[in-house]
Amino acid sequence: MKNYIREQKIKTLVENYYKLTGIRLPDGLEAENCVDGYCPLVSYLSCWQQMVMLTPNIELPLKLAELSHISDYGVIGQVLQNSRSIGSGLNTVLQFTSLITDAVNLRVQPKGRHFYVNFMFSDFVPVELRPILFFKILADFLVISAQVTNHRFPEKVALTTIEIGDHVGQLEPFLNYFKCPIAVVSGHYSVVVPSDFLALKVYQPSEAIVPNILPLLECQQQKVHSCTVASRVELIFQEAHYPVKVRIDAVAEQLGMSVASLKRKLALEGTCYSELKSNFLLKRTIFLTKTKKRSAQYISRSLGYNDASAFSRAFRSWTCRGYEDYFSD
């Protein structure tokens, strides 16, 4: 797969470019000669050449990087997302570089508390595109690092210095974006990364969910206990598929008390089980009649009655009026 790149990477680049500029690339940049989801790297470079010609904005690679999502990076995204830290993830990703691009070779040299990363472009990469691709790679690196670490960047952690081989318009936008010195060194592309950056822990939701969910459960439990018994009974009615079939013994069991205790506590709150159930069934009936299906037969089925006549008798006991008469006003 030498000199091939993922077809999806090109499609994502084109889609994000359109989102950013509203400009469609001429001929849509057809990915030709694809093999198992990969296409020639020259297609990727051709895409960039067209974008640079159509959009003079020198911040283009930075803005495109910001539109990317972790899933757009394929193997890299999967590896980094499931790594313990940025450094360990990148170390694993290096095994897959041949599946990503042969346009750039990276050489990493540790120097004290920093890592010196040198970018070496292949001869077939046009000279005028090298600064653009270099900044795109750096921006991708920062964006994907922010995503996998859940944006938990300490202030002291940042790229230390950047050296580029050619001047790309004004450097101010890049200085503001990378927030570190940028030097122009002929034919040279490199970046110095502090070891603290590579030590950043990758955010693992599965690890964070337990400590985060316990306070929520405790809060929910407190809310439940602070509710009246009557409101807890009504909640059981609301969750029931057929509320008319909910029996008092089942409710008591769900609340963790005996039937006698349930009756006693409801009495202390000035109500009783049958009153709560009747009031709930009436409210549910009124709610259901707001739909187009207002027949007694439809309502009775929705509440769980065996037939419409049983529902009609119950409705009359709640309101002292017949169903049709009640809603004819």
Tens place of pLDDT per residue across the chain (329 aa):
567 777 777 888 888 888 888 888 766 555 566 667 777 788 888 888 888 888 878 888 888 888 887 777 777 777 788 888 888 887 777 666 544 456 787 787 888 888 888 888 888 888 888 888 888 888 888 888 888 887 766 655 678 888 888 766 677 778 778 878 888 887 788 998 888 888 888 877 665 555 555 565 566 555 555 578 888 888 888 888 888 889 999 899 888 889 999 999 999 989 999 999 999 999 888 888 876 557 788 888 888 888 888 888 898 899 888 888 887 76
pLDDT of residue 267: 92
pLDDT of residue 33: 64
Neighbours of 326 (CB within 10 A): 17
Q: Kindly report, as residue ranges, where domains of CATH 1.10.10.60 are found in the chain.
A: 227-326
pLDDT of residue 100: 47
Cα distance between residue 154 and residue 120, in whole Å: 30
pLDDT of residue 167: 67
pLDDT of residue 266: 92
Q: Looking at domain 227-326, which of 1.10.10.60, 3.40.47.10, 3.50.30.30, 3.30.460.10 is its CATH number?
A: 1.10.10.60
pLDDT of residue 217: 58
Q: Kindly report, as residue ranges, where domains of CATH 3.90.1520 are found in the chain.
A: 4-198
pLDDT of residue 14: 85
Q: Is the dihedral of CA 226, 228, 232, 235 positive or negative?
A: negative
CATH class of 4-198: alpha beta
pLDDT of residue 260: 92
pLDDT of residue 194: 84
Q: What is the three-state SS of the chain?
A: CCCEEEHHHHHHHHHHHHHHHCCCCHHHCCCCCCECCEEEHHHHHHHHHHHHHHCCCCCHHHHHHHHCCHHHHHHHHHHHHCCCEHHHHHHHHHHHHHHCCCCEEEEEEEECCEEEEEEEECCCCCHHHHHHHHHHHHHHHHHHHHHHCCCCCCCCCCCCEEEECCCCCCCHHHHHHHCCCEEECCCCEEEEEEHHHHCCECCCHHHHHHHHHHHHHHHHHHHHHHCCHHHHHHHHHHHCCCHHHCCHHHHHHHHCCCHHHHHHHHHHCCCCHHHHHHHHHHHHHHHHCCCCCCCHHHHHHHHCCCCHHHHHHHHHHHHCCCHHHHCCC
pTM recorded for the entire structure = 0.57
